[in-house]
Amino acid sequence: EALGSGEPDEDHRWPPGRRAKGRIVKNRPTWFPEKDYGLSMVQVKEEKGETWFKIKHNNYYEQRERMYWLSETHMNPVLIHEILGEVPYQLNCLLTMAHMSRMNEEFNTGAEWIGGLLFCGKFMKME
Residue 63, pLDDT score? 93
**Which stretches of the chain score pLDDT less than 70?**
1-35, 121-123, 125-126
From the list 99, 96, 73, the residue with the least C-alpha distance to 84 is 96
Residue 108, pLDDT score? 87
Residue 83, pLDDT score? 92
Residue 39, pLDDT score? 83
Instruction: State the DSSP H helix or E strand holding residue 47, giving kind and residue range, or none if neither.
Output: strand 39-47
Q: What are the residue ranges spanned by the domains of the chain?
A: 33-126
pTM: 0.66
**Environment class of 56 (CB within 10 Å of its CB; exposed 0-12, middle 13-18, buried 19+):** middle
Give the C-alpha separation, 43 to 51, whole Å. 7
**Helix 91-103 and helix 59-73, axial crossing angle in degrees, nearest 10:** 30
Residue 113, pLDDT score? 85
Tell me if residue 49 falls in helix, strand or coil.
coil
